[in-house]
Chains A and B, each alone.
Chain A
Amino acid sequence: MPRKNGQPCPPNCGQSCRWGGTGGRGGTPRTPGRATPPAQPRPRRTPQLHPGAWWLWSLALGTAATRTTNPLLLTLLITVSAYVVATRRPQTPWSRSYGAFLKLALAVILIRLTFAIILGSPIPGTHTLLLLPELPLPHWAQGIRLGGRVTAEALTFALYDALRLATLLICVGAANALANPSRLLKSLPGALYELGVAVVVALTFAPHLIADVRRLRAARRLRGRPDKGVRGLLQVGLPVLEGALERSVSLAAAMDARGYGRTAQVPPAVRRTTAALTLGGLLGVCAGTYGLLTAEGGTYGLPVLLAGVAAALAGLRLGGRRTLRTRYRPDPWDLRAWLVTASGAAVAVLLTLAASRDPAALHPGVVPLVAPALPLWPAAAVLIGLLPAFITPAPEPRRTDTRKEPTT
Chain B
Amino acid sequence: MIRFENVSVTYDGAPEPAVRGVDFEVPEGELVLLVGPSGVGKSTVLGAVSGLVPHFTGGTLRGRVTVAGRDTRTHKPRELADVVGTVGQDPLSHFVTDTVEDELAYGMESLGVPPAVMRRRVEETLDLLGLSDLRDRPIATLSGGQQQRVAIGSVLTPHPRVLVLDEPTSALDPAAAEEVLAVLQRLVHDLGTTVLMAEHRLERVIQYADQVALLPGPGEPPLLGTPAEVMAVSSVHPPVVGLGRLADWSPLPLTVRDARRRAGPLRDRLADRRPPAREPAPPAPAPRRLFPRSRPDAATHVAEVRDLAVRRDRVQALRHIDLTVGPGETIALMGRNGAGKSTLLSTLVGLVSPTSGSVRTGDAVPHRTRPRDLVRRVGLVPQEPRDLLYADTVAAECAAADEDAGAEPGTCRALLTELLPSVADDIHPRDLSEGQRLTLALAVVLTARPPLLLLDEPTRGLDYAAKARLVTILRGLAAEGHAIVMATHDVELAAELAHRVVLIAEGEVIADGPAAEVVVASPSFAPQVAKILAPQHWLTVSQVREALR
Contact = CB atoms under 8 A, between A and B. Distances in A.
Interface of A: 1-4, 12-16, 19-20, 22-29, 38-39, 42, 45-46, 92-94, 180, 182, 197, 201, 204, 215-216, 218-227, 235-236, 238-239, 242, 247, 250-262, 264, 324-329, 396, 399, 401-406
Contacts of A326: 108-109, 112-115, 118
Contacts of A2: 127-128, 130
Contacts of B319: 406
A399 B118 CA distance: 25
Interface stretch (B84-92, B322-330, B478-486, B540-548): B84-92
Given A28-B133, A253-B52, A259 B97 contact: no
Nearest to A2: B130
B16 interface: no
B209 to A, nearest CB: 17
A324 B111 contact: yes
A22 B506 contact: yes
Nearest to A223: B404
A3 B179 contact: yes
Contacts of B448: 224
B110 A259 contact: yes
A4 B185 contact: yes
Contact of A403 (B98, B106, B316): B316
B505 to A, nearest CB: 5
Given A29-B133, A406-B316, A251 B93 contact: yes
B48 to A, nearest CB: 12
Given A26-B130, A182-B98, A329-B105, A227 B145 contact: no
B243 interface: no
A328 B158 CA distance: 13
B115 A329 contact: yes
Contact of B404 (A14, A225, A262): A225
A262 B524 CA distance: 43
A15 B523 contact: yes
B17 interface: no
Contacts of A92: 98, 138
Nearest to A20: B505
A227 B370 CA distance: 10
Contacts of A242: 430
Interface stretch (B289-297, B373-381, B418-426): B373-381
Nearest to B448: A224
Closest 10 CB pairs of A and B: A27-B130, A324-B112, A259-B81, A1-B130, A328-B105, A259-B110, A224-B375, A26-B146, A219-B387, A250-B93
Contact of A224 (B372, B522, B525): B372
B96 interface: yes
B459 interface: no
Nearest to A405: B316
Interface stretch (B71-79, B191-199, B260-268): B71-79
Contacts of B111: 259, 262, 324
Most chain B beta carbons < 10 A, residue from A92, A258, A260, A404: A258
Given A19-B505, A25-B145, A25-B146, A258 B93 contact: no
Interface of B: 50-52, 55-56, 76-82, 84-86, 88, 90, 93-98, 101-102, 105-115, 118-119, 122, 127-138, 140-143, 145-146, 149, 154-155, 158, 175-176, 178-179, 182, 185-186, 314-317, 319, 336, 338-340, 346, 349-351, 370-372, 374-375, 379-380, 382, 386-390, 400-401, 404-405, 430, 444-445, 448, 503, 505-507, 510, 522-525
A16 B505 CA distance: 10
A257 B86 contact: yes
Most chain A beta carbons < 10 A, residue from B98, B102, B445: B98
A67 B118 CA distance: 46
Contacts of A27: 129-134
B382 A403 contact: no
A141 to B, nearest CB: 46
6 contacts: A13-B178, A222-B375, A257-B77, A258-B106, A262-B111, A403-B317
A92 B141 CA distance: 9
Given A45-B101, A256-B76, A20 B110 contact: no
A389 to B, nearest CB: 22
Given A324-B110, A328-B101, A328-B102, 20 more contacts: A3-B179, A25-B143, A25-B175, A26-B130, A42-B133, A219-B388, A222-B375, A222-B445, A225-B372, A226-B370, A253-B77, A254-B86, A254-B93, A257-B52, A258-B85, A258-B106, A262-B78, A399-B136, A401-B141, A403-B338
Contacts of A327: 109, 115
Contacts of A261: 78, 110
B382 to A, nearest CB: 6
B349 A16 contact: no
Contact of B97 (A182, A218, A225, A404): A182
